[in-house]
Structure 1
Amino acid sequence: ALPLPRLVWFNTGVLVISSVALQWALMAARHDDHEGLIAGLLVGGASAVMFLIGQLVVWQQLNVAGYVMASNPANSFFYLITALHGLHVTGGLVALGRATVKLWRGAPMTQMRLSVELCTIYWHFLLLVWLVLLGLLTGWTDNFVDICRQLLT
């Protein structure tokens, strides 16, 4: 089994902060709060970048510890899944960057609401996917499935 470095938990917290910041930006857009919107977008984007950098550091730590991608299927699966998630976070950052540029160019708040709402929904989905992946990778979902089976029988 592939051991997960502690940094994975920190990265999870950073992703939660990113999602909360985008929710903050959405609420600011709905209340025509320009400064709150800018702050939410910047904090959300910066914490997402921090998540990606943290995941690269996790990969480096695992490589140094001898858990290279080609050594066994579990390692390959971990690297593949986390890379795909990182790719989706990067795509979300592109959309978030476009929304931020639109805001700085003076787009009306009514236009910004839809962009921010779509980014926020996507970000919450990314967080949910990450939590499910983390549950699968750490094995706690096995316990959850066992509990459900016991409740159903």
Structure 2
Amino acid sequence: MSSILLFLSALLPIGMWWLLRQGVMSKPWLEQGVVEGLPGPPPTSAAKVGLGVFLAVIGSLFALFISAYAVRMQMPDWRDVPLPNILWLNSGMLLLSSIALQGARNAARDGDAMALKIGLLAAGVTALAFVSGQLLAWRQLTGNGYLLTSNSANAFFYVLTGIHGLHVLGGLAVLGRTTAAAWRGRLSERLKLSVELCAIYWHFLLVVWLILLSILAGWAGSFVEICRQLLT
């Protein structure tokens, strides 16, 4: 239960910030009169709202798995899985991918087509490196005898990292289409929106991965225990 609360508390500020940026929390019924000629925030895109709902569903899915993980690890037959060192390199690749997509997002906003193309390519390459590294981590674990059916901890490791990897692959499919559109066409508003959605999705996946990594490494439990001791 502590792990799921930690996960949700990490996602809540991000969700609130995103809603405020989209103007969803505004109260138009309290506005009086009509002021013309003044710039205002753009209307919330249906695609952005759809992405927000989709991310909420994904977050709930991971929260359920993390909750099950927290309950199952209390059983006496639980054996922790040693994390392969390559996971730290993989984390760096996903971080670089997120940074590159943010750069592409800024380039699209500024109308810099070349920087946009470079950012999208860099994000795709580093994301592929992340997925390849995750597969290599699986291979190292299975080679050392940590098979899927050997222990519940092994199964949870493969399930959590596998589901996250599938979401990265899904994002790569959309990113590939966006990159192809950027290279063959002009910088349209539709392309800018696609880049922005990819960046938001990538930032979300990065946050989810860092939370998963902290839980798999045991940092989350230690952090919760320290907070509990401080409060008592």
TM interval, shorter chain, is over 0.9
Question: What secondary structure is seen at the aligned counterpart in 1 of 2:149?
Answer: helix
What is the aligned counterpart of 2:210 among 117, 131, 135?
131
Q: Report the counterpart of residue 148 of structure 1 in structure 2.
A: 227
The residue that corresponds to 1:90 in the other structure is 169
Give the unaligned 5+ runs of structure 1.
Answer: none
Larger helix percent:
1
The answer to whether the 8 A contact 2:124-2:172 is kept is yes
Q: Which residue of 2 is the match for residue 49 of structure 1?
A: 128
- Alpha-carbon shift at residue 62 of structure 1 (Å): 0.5
- Alpha-carbon contact 2:87-2:134 (below 8 Å) kept: yes
Divergent runs of 4+, >6 A = none
In structure 2, how many angstroms separate the alpha carbons of the residues matched to 1:53 and 1:75?
19
Moved more, 94-103 or 33-42: 94-103
The alignment's TM-score, normalised by the length of structure 1, stands at: 0.96
User: What is the CA RMSD across the aligned residues, in angstroms?
Assistant: 1.0
Q: TM-score, normalised by structure 2?
A: 0.64
Say yes or no: does 1:100 pair with 2:175.
no
Residues 111 and 187 of structure 2 are in contact (CA less than 8 Å); yes or no, is this contact kept in structure 1? no
Q: Verify: 1:61 aligned to 2:143, yes or no.
A: no
1:78 counterpart residue number: 157
Residues 29 and 109 of structure 1 are in contact (CA less than 8 Å); yes or no, is this contact kept in structure 2?
A: no
Q: Deviations over 1:17-48 (max 9, x none)?
A: 00000000001001101010000000000000
- Counterpart CA distance in 2 for 1:150 and 1:30 is 47
Query: Secondary structure of the residue that 1:69 maps to in structure 2?
Result: coil
Say how many residue pairs are matched: 153
Instruction: Point out which structure has higher relative CO (alpha carbons under 8 A, 6+ apart).
Output: 1
Q: What is the alpha-carbon distance in structure 2 between the residues aligned to residue 109 and residue 150 of structure 1?
A: 54
SS in 1 for 2:166: helix
Q: CA deviation at 1:112?
A: 1.6
Paired residue for 2:198?
119
